[in-house]
Structure 1
Amino acid sequence: MNNINHFFPKNKQFWLYHGSLLAVMTVAQLILFILVEQYFLLNTVIQVAWLPLYTISVLIYRYYYKTRSWQRFSMSKIIPLTLVISLVLAIMMSLFTLAIICPFFWTEFLGAEVLAKENRTLIGRLAAFIFYNSVISLLFISIWAFIYIAVTTSRQVKESEIKSLRLENSLKEAKLASLTNQLNPHFLFNSLNNIRFMIYENAAHADEMITAFSEILRYSLTSSKQDKVGIEEELSIIDRYIDIVRLQLGDKLDFQLHFSSSCQQCLIPPMALQILVENAIKHGIENSKTKARLSVNIINKDEVLLIEVCNPVASSVSMPIQGTGTGLKNIKQRLNLLYGELAQLSVTPLENNFTATLTIPMEKSL
């Protein structure tokens, strides 16, 4: 039963195309027989016998092509193999056709008058019939086979491309999830460290920090399942993070946010802006001995979302170098996965200032 399923295609489109081909060939042959006006009945019977034999022959070729995995062969091997198989099938078709018509059309086909008229012997007449019909059958079988190879190969290439894209997307999603999960330990360590110091200094402030931290942690865990979030949602978590930092640093932090109204409902990678702010506080504000300004500017420039995070850096502190640091490296990797060359993260270290600029395509939530 399994072999039968392999032999007869279940695809309706296959039978539609094959049936259309047989119909066109039949009509063309009948028109030719009518024009010749000789042996019309004989030629019609030969054509009727030839059609199912032709169908069986091409199905035999298809069966071996699929079950013997001929699609793995190179063209230099599949072409001669196809021609040889087609020739064998064509000869078999001619012999079967001959066996079918001889009992019914012996006089019209191999009678003494026909042989005398064509000046041929019986063997010569049979050989000519087998040769002529084998050549015609070889031509049609090989044309069918090469069309089948081309269609099958094209379909396999498309399926391979689809599988490759699916695999690429799966790997991309897995890598994005891995990169997003890297943010949680990084953020967790810094925040818990801040709370630890505050517990001994001011228990009330520590309680507020824990409340704010729980909200941030919930957002961090939830957003790790998404590749993009709304920028207003990200800003609300940054406000909670700044609340934690202010409880620790007091008036030392001067946080300034400039947010263009045209950027509302824009999407950004989760925790990306928060990491930039955290990086600015860790490497800039915390090391400053006086009140320091941390400014975040978010604008829409030529349908591109431009985010700048600027903080002062004490001259005695070495500034982060572009491409170093877990936070900046993580953001760059996620930008590459999500946007390719359309997004970038650049840093500008000056003498007493450090600016991180995040540029991504403008994209709004529905």
Structure 2
Amino acid sequence: MALLLYPHTFEAMKMSKLYVICQLLGWATYISIAFILNQLSNVPAGPELTVSLWSAFVLGLLISHAYREIIIRNRWLELSISKMIPRFILGSLTMALAFQLFYSGLSFILFQNSKRIEFGLLVQEFAGWIVLFLLWSLIYFFYHFFKNYKQEEIKNLRWEAAINEMELNKLKSQLNPHFIFNAMNSIRALVDESPKKAKMGITQLSNILRSNLLMGRQKLIPFSDELKLVKDYLAIESYRYEERLKVEIHIDEQSSNFLVPPLMVQTIVENGIKHGIAHLPKGGTLSLKSMVVEGLVVIEVTNPGQYHEEKKAETGFGLVNTRERLRLLFGAPSSLTIKNLNKSEVITTIKFPLKFNDL
């Protein structure tokens, strides 16, 4: 009886360290149990018992190993369950018969004991070997299926991760041009009104582009880096909206360390300006808050205006993109919600699991 390690490929026939250890321990355990049972049955612990047990130990190792080679060479483990079970049973019966023949023959040669070949005793011993090899086979195949299941699970997870990676890269590649286009529009609006402010806006935009390049293909960045980008973006918009845009930022003490998806906060800030302040002659105050609540990062952006459920499709590409990125990166614990805080304000809330930057 042994817990066996099936090779990674059928061509690789080398015995693994785990296989050798399990074979030795398994058969040694069986022999130890057999010795204890013989002692409880008052069988003398003489040379005959010692040789018999050692013979069973060696034969068990050799025959079970031969059985394993048959399984590997004939690729039984690649078969369906319906085809494997008959081979599983037949193989166990064959190995039990081979063990019985060798063991009985060896005992008769060594001890010249006629009792060893009595029919009743042979049947009793044969039944015991059948149970033993069925148990060996069961452990072998159970381990194999468990191992294959884990490998398949890992393969599926890697495949899923690769798909998610491609989707995230696609979303990021869509988001960057979208953001840059909107920022350029803001600067273009300043060119005729105030060339000086337009020049300052271009400087801010260059800072943003530099940050984007440094972010590269990162899935998550420190919130402090995202906040710098948001402030640069707000600076561009402040040149355009002037007194109409007021900004309040309240950041949790831990916010410089936790990680966020790049451009995520900027997207909801931009949405608040585009769908709120931009439509109000007097503008208003845009508030950005961050906090940590029960292991979740909570980021809130409040802006003047009213959110209409029937017009939610008009909230833009950026929020759809953000929701999808949150889903791919964090799964169920993450969320993005928009609702009316009161009759004159809209609040956008993002929640996702807390992850810290250890660097």
Describe the shift of the 1:347–1:21 C-alpha distance in structure 2 as closer, same or farther (beyond 3 A): closer
- What residue number does 1:121 align with? none
Structure 1 residue 86: Cα displacement: 1.7
Distance 2:257 2:48 in 1: 79
Amino acid paired to 1:70: W
Distance 1:27 1:279 in 2: 74
Between 1:139-148 and 1:151-160, the stretch displaced more is 151-160
TM-score, reference length from structure 1: 0.78
Amino acid paired to 2:331: G
Is 1:212 aligned to residue 204 of structure 2? Answer: yes
Distance 1:357 1:28 in 2: 65
Map 1:155-194 → 2, pairs under 5 A: 155-194=147-186
- What residue number does 2:287 align with? 296
* Corresponding residue pairs, total: 346
- What residue number does 1:14 align with? 19
Distance 2:153 2:239 in 1: 54
Is 1:270 aligned to residue 276 of structure 2? Answer: no
Q: Gaps (5+ residues) in structure 2?
A: 1-8
Structure 1 residue 26: Cα displacement: 3.6
Name which of 81, 84, 89 aligns with 2:90. Answer: 84
- What residue number does 2:320 align with? 329
Between 1:158-167 and 1:317-326, the stretch displaced more is 317-326
Amino acid paired to 2:113: F
Structure 1 residue 275: Cα displacement: 0.8
Kept in 2: contact 1:298–1:305 (CA 8 A): no
SS at match of 1:358: strand
TM-score, reference length from structure 2: 0.79
Structure 1 residue 255: Cα displacement: 2.8
Determine which structure has more spread, i.e. the larger CA radius of gyration: 1
Structure 1 residue 292: Cα displacement: 0.6
User: Which deviations, in whole Å up to 9, do the C-alpha atoms of 1:269-303 show, x marking residues without a partner?
Assistant: 22111111212222233333x23113123143644
Name which of 212, 223, 230 aligns with 1:231. Answer: 223
Q: Gaps (5+ residues) in structure 1?
A: 119-124
Structure 1 residue 195: Cα displacement: 3.0
Structure 1 residue 70: Cα displacement: 2.7
SS at match of 2:331: helix
Describe the shift of the 1:363–1:103 C-alpha distance in structure 2 as closer, same or farther (beyond 3 A): closer
Structure 1 residue 244: Cα displacement: 1.5
Is 1:240 aligned to residue 232 of structure 2? Answer: yes
Let me know the Cα RMSD of the aligned residues. Answer: 3.6
SS at match of 1:227: coil
Structure 1 residue 11: Cα displacement: 1.9
Structure 1 residue 337: Cα displacement: 2.6
Describe the shift of the 1:74–1:55 C-alpha distance in structure 2 as closer, same or farther (beyond 3 A): same
- What residue number does 1:257 align with? 249
Name which of 106, 109, 112 aligns with 2:113. Answer: 109
Amino acid paired to 1:109: N
Structure 1 residue 157: Cα displacement: 2.2
Kept in 2: contact 1:93–1:137 (CA 8 A): yes
